[in-house]
Each structure stands twice: as C-alpha cells, then as structure tokens.
C-alpha cells in the first residue's frame, strides 16, 4: 500500500511537470510554430488593396470552389492580435454536411489579392511546431487519446485536491509567503515550495479547475449519459442544445444587397481598419445573413466576435445575440481563462511566468520529497533501489525534460528536410533525450548527473540562437532590424532559459562539488542536502 | 496459515487496510455520490435541460473534491462509509423518480 501510494504520488508529480512544461509553451504556440517554419518570409509584403475589390474576388472564388457550403468567410489581410502574426487574404468555408452528419468538410485557400487566384502554399518543412508541443499537455504522446485524457484528468483532479487541502490546512499561509530561509537544507526546500505555491495560487486553482471543465462530460458523464444517452448521436444532440446550434443550412450564396453600406456602417461604429472578415450563412427557414466581423480584441469571450449582422437580401441590419446559451457562455469563459487566448502581450507573459512557477512548484515538491525521505534512510551506500530510481527520475524530468524540449527545437533545424515522418521525429528526439537523461542519471553519481544535465540544458537553450544563425536566414541579425518580434522574441527567450539553467547549474555545483575533498573519490551518496 | 493471518491482522496491516478502505470510499464512493448529486441537480435546476446538465457537471468537480476532502477529514472510517451510503440511498430514488419517464 505504501509502495502504491509512493509511486502514484510521484508519477503524478512527474506527469504534472510534463503537463506544465508543455502547457506553458502553449501560451506561445503560434510564435513557436512561426519559428519552426523558417521558410516563411520575414515580413509579409501585401500591396494595399481595395476592400470591396478583395471581397468581390473572394466571393467569385468561393462560388467556383465551394458552391454547396454551409458558410463562407472572406478574411481580409490584417495584423492578427489573436495569433500575433500577419493574416493573409484568405477564404474559408464548410461544405454542407452529408445526411446524418452535423458538419461537412472544411476548407481554406490563401488568395492572391490582385488576381484572386489561389496561391500555392509556400513550401515549409514538415514540423509539429508549437501546436504539437502544446497538445502534449493534454493528449500526451504515443498513447490512445481517451486513455491520455483520463490520465491527465486524474493528475489534474489530484492537483486540484492538493491545492484546496493545502489552502485549508495551511494556517500560516500569509506569513509563509514572506518566509525564506536559504541554506538550511530541507527547511529551505519547503520554504521555496511554499513561496512559489502561494505566489501563483489563484493561477493554479484556475488552471486545474478549468482543465477539468474542458473534459467535463468525459470525466463526469452521469448527467448527460442518463438524460441524453452516451452514444455519439445523443452527445451531438446535447451539445447542439447547449450551444443552441442549428445545422440545417442552405448553400451560401452571393448576397443580393450591396456590401459597401454594411462595411461603412461597421466602420462608423468601430473606426477604420477594424473589419476582419465577412461571413455569409443561410439558416434554413431564416433570411440569409451577412456578418461583418471585427478584428479580435482582448475580450474574454474571444469566440464571440464583435460583429454587425445584416439581412443578405435587403441589407437591413439584424439583431445579433451572443453565441450560445448563458451556461455555455459560462463554460466558455472558464475554458477561455485556461487558454488565455484573449491575453495581450503583457498578460500573455504573465501567463507564461505563472506557468513557469507551476513547473517550479512541482519541481521543488519532488525534490523536497526525496530530501525528506533521505533523512530517514540509513547510511550512504545502502540506498534502496527505489530511492535511486526516484532520484534518477527527478533529475531526468526536472533537468532532462527541458533538455528534451530544447532538443525538439534543435531537431527542427538539424533533421534533413526531406526525411519521411519528419514532424514525428522532432517529437521522438524530445522523448529520446528525456529517456537518455534518465539512463544517464541511473548510472552516474546523482549529484554529478544533476550538474551535468543542468549545464547541458543551459547550453542546449543558449546555443539555439547560434544554431538558428548557422542554419537559416531568420536569425537575430535579421529579425531584430526588421522588427520581427515574434522571431526575435523566440531567440531571446531561449537565451533567457539558457541563463536560468546555467544559474541552477552553478548553484547546485557550488553546493555539492566545490567542497569535495580532492583526495577522496566521489561518494555515491545521493543526498541533496549539504551538512552545514 | 497463521503467518498469513498475522500478515492481514497485524497492526501495520490493519492500518494499511484502513487507508485502502478510506481511499476507496473517498475516490470511488465519492465519485458515485457526486455523480448522483449532479444528476439530481441536472433534473432540478430551473434551466433548459442541456444547460442544467452542463452547469451541474461543472459543479460536479467541486462536489467530488469536497466529498473527497470530507472523507479524509472524518476520524471514524465507519462514519465515512455510512455517510456516503445514506446520502446515495437518499439521492438514488429521487433521481429515479425525477427521470423523464421514470417513477411510473
């Protein structure tokens, strides 16, 4: 039983660390993808084009390409705050569904703003990008999706319980926030763990609870299953009711009413250059409608675009209610808080910092766990094999997993562009490095393993800008003068991460290796504590 | 045989069984009870049906968490099991009675 408790507790810790590392990266997943596709041009050059001209080109192309569509959308070229990237002139559509289905196939094309002809997608290397990295935090990898969801759910629930009970039992929560006693072994680890946990407590409560809400009817299906049923059709029916969605559409077609007055009315309400796209849809039994959608702002409900709705036949303005029902909106706000899609630059960095604090909280907790038990172990040299394994897994996860993430970026630059299954191999490199760090930590003096893998991670991150310089033309020397902050920001963040790991390496080395008696061979003891 | 008996009846073994029983009560019993309560809420909240389900499912995680914490905070293990059992036995017939097409 104790064995079970020990191992489940620890496995949760390691998995949560993995989820926090990959999830935190997700707050910049568009930026990471951009960096991992260096073939894309530095600054998109778009000739200024007339808006109504563009929309008319888009409509012509949509009529030819998607004559039987549930909706059409023409996206005007703009600087997108949602992705922090340039958005090209693009058309999107969804085909009418086959009988018995809710949705048809979706499509999109980037169009030439002058001719309206579809542009070939620029050839970019095959990469999983930031998307794959951030998806790992709830889909894991190499694993059945449903099994991954359940494992992630159990870890999340246990973390949620740990936080709530931590708050309840922690009587001196405020005082401990200001308490840090360095250089005192276990006491210092505990202080560090407390300070970090309290600092970002609201974030941890929000992120765990909202993480559960994403999969609400997967984890607690009782209500839906008993009242609607649990087969696919019943679930679809439930979600349609919840989101007040109607799937019965007529094929989208060119509006009879002129679009220019609609655009003018939007301009009048929002100011110039605020129109993001024109959306056309015809629900069966209702008048066909045109939506003029505004560029995403920092509103919390980012899926609920600010928009102007018009009758496509008459051009009359129509009322536009918010998307979904009150409860579904509540649910969407909870999940929006998790994803932080509404966050502007500063809030986004705050999310990122809170995520890193989460990594630090779990890491200090794992280390504290071993330090505490180390005290009760007998003399050095009689390490139980369990303890040795746990310490090795701690090194491999806390220092080795970040090394793997750095390796993911190295693989993106170094793997030959034409190998088969390239995107998968980038991910394989991440897990291979993680695994190798574990094997290394198993056979190496654990203190040396800590120092060496921390330094290796520091070098792996810090050298990425150099690697970028040697392998692409999108390096700091090019991105900084061009003001491409997405690319430059990535390289600079890698330098920052390299510095952080170097600092940890120096700290650990100073404590353990500097005082070593030069005449004596290194002890094989694995204590993280320095006898003061 | 005696050694086996000793293994299951010694003080440390008894402690382990108690922990096992409590963990089962908290996580399995708690899941059943919170599912029943959220189902009851789904049937009674004054909202359209799908919304009532979504709202109570979101509350379900909080219920589940509170029940688990409660199960670990009560000293007597028998109180935990009894509490879970009685609450479930109160909820189940209500659910059955309120279910569309049920109770008849």
Q: Is A385 on the interface with B (CB under 8 A)?
A: no
Residue B13 confidence (pLDDT): 82
- Contact by Cβ (8 Å): A354, A26: no
Domain residue spans of chain B: 25-98
**Paired tokens of A448:** 């040396």
Chain A nearest C-alpha distance from B35 (Å): 6
Q: Is B51–A327 a contact, with Cβ atoms under 8 angstroms apart?
A: yes
Q: Within a 10 A sphere around the Cβ of B78, how many other Cβ atoms?
A: 9
Residue B6 confidence (pLDDT): 62
Residue A526 confidence (pLDDT): 42
Residue A57 confidence (pLDDT): 93
Torsion of CA A31, A32, A36, A37, to 10 degrees: -30
Per-residue pLDDT of chain B (104 residues; tens, 9 = 90+): 556 556 666 778 888 888 889 999 999 999 999 999 999 999 999 999 999 999 999 999 999 999 998 998 888 999 999 999 999 999 999 999 998 876 44
Of B38, B68, B72, the CB nearest to A223: B38
- Can you say how many angstroms the Cα of residue A205 is from the centroid of all Cα atoms in its chain? 18
Q: Is the dihedral of CA A361, A364, A368, A369 positive or negative?
A: positive
Chain A nearest C-alpha distance from B32 (Å): 9
pLDDT tens, residue by residue, A90-130: 999 999 998 878 889 999 999 988 888 998 877 889 999 99
Q: Is A342 on the interface with B (CB under 8 A)?
A: no
Among A159, A204, A223, the strongest candidate for a mutation testing the B interface, having the largest count of B CBs within 10 A, is A223
- Partners of residue B62 in chain A, C-beta under 8 Å: 209
| Continuous segment of H or E residues that includes residue A69 | strand A69-75
Chain B nearest C-alpha distance from A372 (Å): 22
Q: Is A216–B95 a contact, with Cβ atoms under 8 angstroms apart?
A: no
Chain B nearest C-alpha distance from A161 (Å): 6
Distance CA A189, CA A178 (A): 14
- pLDDT < 50 positions in chain A: 1-2, 379, 382, 517-532
- Partners of residue A212 in chain B, C-beta under 8 Å: 61
Domain residue spans of chain A: 1-40+377-532, 51-121+246-323
Q: Is A419 on the interface with B (CB under 8 A)?
A: no
- Can you say how many angstroms the Cα of residue A233 is from the centroid of all Cα atoms in its chain? 30
Residue A517 confidence (pLDDT): 45
Nearest CA in chain B to A242: B50
Count of A–B CB contacts within 8 Å?
96
Q: Is A330 on the interface with B (CB under 8 A)?
A: yes
Nearest CA in chain B to A2: B16
Nearest CA in chain B to A217: B57
Residue A81 confidence (pLDDT): 82
């Amino acid at each position: 039983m104790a064995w079970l408790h020990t191992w489940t507790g620890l496995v949760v810790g390691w998995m949560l660390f993995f989820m926090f590392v990959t999830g935190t990266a997700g707050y910049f997943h568009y930026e990471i993808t951009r960096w991992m596709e260096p073939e894309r041009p530095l600054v998109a050059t778009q000739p200024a084009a007339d808006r109504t001209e563009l929309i008319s080109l888009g409509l012509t192309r949509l009529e030819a390409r998607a004559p039987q569509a549930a909706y059409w959308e023409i996206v005007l070229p703009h600087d997108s705050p949602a992705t922090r990237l340039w958005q090209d002139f693009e058309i999107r559509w969804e085909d009418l569904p086959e009988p018995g289905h809710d949705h048809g196939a979706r499509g999109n094309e980037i169009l030439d703003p002058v001719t309206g002809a579809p542009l070939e997608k620029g050839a970019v290397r095959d990469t999983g990008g930031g998307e794959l990295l951030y998806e790992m935090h709830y889909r894991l990898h190499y694993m059945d999706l449903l099994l991954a969801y359940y494992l992630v759910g159990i870890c999340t629930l246990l973390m949620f319980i740990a936080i709530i009970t931590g708050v309840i039992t922690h009587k001196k929560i405020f005082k401990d926030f200001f308490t840090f006693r360095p250089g005192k072994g276990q006491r210092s680890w505990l202080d560090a763990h407390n300070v970090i946990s309290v600092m970002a407590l609201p974030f941890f409560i929000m992120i765990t609870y909202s993480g559960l809400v994403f999969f609400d009817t997967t984890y607690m299906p009782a209500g839906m299953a008993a009242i609607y049923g649990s087969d696919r059709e019943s679930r679809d029916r439930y979600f349609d009711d919840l989101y007040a969605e109607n799937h019965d559409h007529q094929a989208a077609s060119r509006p009879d009413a002129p679009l220019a007055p609609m655009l003018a009315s939007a301009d009048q309400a929002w100011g110039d250059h605020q129109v993001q796209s024109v959306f056309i849809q015809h629900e069966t039994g209702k008048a066909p409608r045109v939506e003029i959608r505004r560029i995403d702002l920092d509103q919390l409900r980012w899926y609920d675009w600010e928009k102007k709705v018009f009758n496509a036949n008459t051009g009359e303005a129509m009322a536009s209610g918010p998307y979904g029902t009150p409860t579904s909106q509540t649910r969407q706000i909870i999940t929006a808080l998790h994803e932080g899609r509404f966050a502007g630059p500063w809030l986004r960095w705050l999310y990122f910092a809170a995520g890193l604090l989460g990594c630090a909280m779990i890491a200090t907790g794992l280390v504290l766990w071993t330090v505490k038990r180390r005290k009760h172990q007998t003399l050095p040299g009689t390490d139980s094999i369990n303890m040795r394994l746990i310490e090795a897994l701690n090194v491999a996860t806390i220092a080795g997993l970040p090394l793997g993430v750095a390796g993911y970026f190295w693989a993106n630059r170094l793997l030959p562009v034409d190998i088969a299954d390239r995107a998968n191999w980038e991910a394989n490199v991440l897990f291979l490095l993680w695994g190798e760090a574990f094997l290394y930590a198993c056979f190496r003096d654990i203190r040396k393993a800590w120092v060496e893998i921390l330094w290796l991670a520091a070098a792996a991150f810090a050298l990425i800008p150099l690697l970028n310089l040697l392998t692409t033309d999108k390096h700091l020397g090019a991105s900084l003068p061009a003001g491409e902050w997405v690319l430059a920001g990535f390289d600079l963040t890698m330098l920052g991460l390299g510095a952080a790991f170097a600092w940890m390496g120096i700290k650990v080395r100073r404590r353990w290796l500097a005082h070593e008696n030069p005449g004596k061979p290194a002890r094989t003891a694995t204590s993280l504590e320095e006898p003061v | 045989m005696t050694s086996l008996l000793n293994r299951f009846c010694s003080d440390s073994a008894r402690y382990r069984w108690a922990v096992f029983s409590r963990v089962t009560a908290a996580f399995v019993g708690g899941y059943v009870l919170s599912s029943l309560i959220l189902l009851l809420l789904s049937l009674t909240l004054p909202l359209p049906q799908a919304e009532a389900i979504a709202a109570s499912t979101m509350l379900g995680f909080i219920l589940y968490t509170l029940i688990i914490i409660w199960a670990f905070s009560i000293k007597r293990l028998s109180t935990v099991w009894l509490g879970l059992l009685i609450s479930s036995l109160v909820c189940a017939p209500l659910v059955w009675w309120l279910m569309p097409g049920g109770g008849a």
